[in-house]
Structure 1
Amino acid sequence: MPEGGFSDGTSAGTERPSIGRALQQARIAAHLTVDEISGSTRVRIPIVHAIEQDDFSRCGGDVYARGHIRMLARAVGLDPQPLMEQFDAEHGGRPAPTPAAPRFEAERIRPERRRPNWTAAMVAAIVAVVGFVGFTLVNGGVGDTKNKQVAEGAQPEQPDLKPTPIKKADPKPEPSDSAIAAAPRDKVTVKLSAMEDKSWISAKAHNGKLLFDGILVKGDSKTFQDDEQIDLILGNAGAIELYVNGKKVEDEFQPGQIERLSYTQGDPEIG
């Protein structure tokens, strides 16, 4: 028997099975295959196999390992809390939130302040002044004409020279937050907005090129575009509002939930 554990997945000195063993037994008891579990949780098949063998190295860190354990436990009908406590005890306690890397601070999108539309304000002021002057001239001319007619008799009618009103210039349209609604059909366009809380996100192009890997704070947005496909990882999916090719994705993501998504032309459909 190997040192530090048992070959049947139990921990030394206890009868409690390992995390992977417990998840595997519950899955088998529920008559579920690894493919079915992967489809319902969106955890990739190789990662499901690795977790059932108590190999958490493919999860990408303790934060993501805890998220995978939680989703797999719920999928097979287990209470995730004891498994989470067991994982924390075996891996040095609950991990602290990962701060944003300094190299991504420059890429963070901050909402731009709206500048005053001085052109529209000036046009409005000119229209008001011209209108007031025209109104005064018209009313004054009518009064003088009536007085002269009483004193001197009827006078030939003068043409009513009303000032031509100046057409108010149409204000320059403000850029729309949903500009991706007109996204080109020959590309895939994805927009992410942190609505409720901050969220760590990662985005890659179809050729594996990393487009972004960092944290969006509440109120920030990020838009990505590729010719064929965009792959996403959302660390706190419940805080994200997601638009794909100009259409809002209506999936009900939960706070703290980790989502791995892929989108192509013609979506939104979860990849």
Structure 2
Amino acid sequence: MSIGNSPTDDRPSVGRAIQQARVAARLTVEEVSASTRVRIPLVHAIEQDDFSRCGGDVYARGHLRTLARAVHLDPGPLIEQYDAEHGGRPEPTPAAPLFEAERIRPERRRPNWTAAMVAAIVAVVGFVGFTLFSDGGQGGGISVAGGDTNPDKPAPHPHTAPAEHPRPDPEPSDSAIAGLPKDKVTIKVIGRDGQSWISAKDANGKLLEDGLLRQGESKTFTDKERIDLVLGNAGAVQLYVNGKEVKEVGDQGSVERLSYTPGDPQAG
């Protein structure tokens, strides 16, 4: 689009003024394009007053400033002439009223879910504590079937565990004896009154045990034919053979060598 000169103004058009200044400065379009980095087709279009390739008034003004400086022209009058020929520069929209309206608008507060959850937890804990305290103050308790109902017996401290006493090994009952295999020999040795040294071998001479038996410990040995025992400090042990207790094993501090086969206890 070529605008041309205004009929009331003898000044050349904006594009024509740039072209004349370029020719007067003895510069080619290629040289101006190289120094300003404005593409050659765009320089030709501007010199023909065709600003449609600039991409808008803002870019057109920028190109005019760049080209005017390259051809030694004052860009100010060219920009004013361009604005006059293209409807003038748009007035900026005042932003103060919008800013004031946004500033005085109250900010919506979001609910504080964390504080609400903490308050709910505190309420639940307080209710549970109040309930437990009320039950304890009224003397109410939970009755357990089969428990001790003696009111005079003091209750154990809630933080003190009852003392555990070692339970003695129960003596074999008739049913336990009947459950033992009759075709094998089964021996059980218990450290009753102290520690003892024991050694046990099967019928083939294989060593089953050789070491110290402490008080409260027990060892059990089984073989199809025979078990040979050596008991140090024999009086400190309790001996069961095939489910039956051997009453007299030996004296305190004595060493006894014993041999047992399937059936009733018989010393070899």
Please give the TM-score of this superposition, normalised by the length of structure 2: 0.35
Q: Which has the larger radius of gyration?
A: 2
**Higher RCO structure (Cα 8 Å, ≥6 apart):** 1
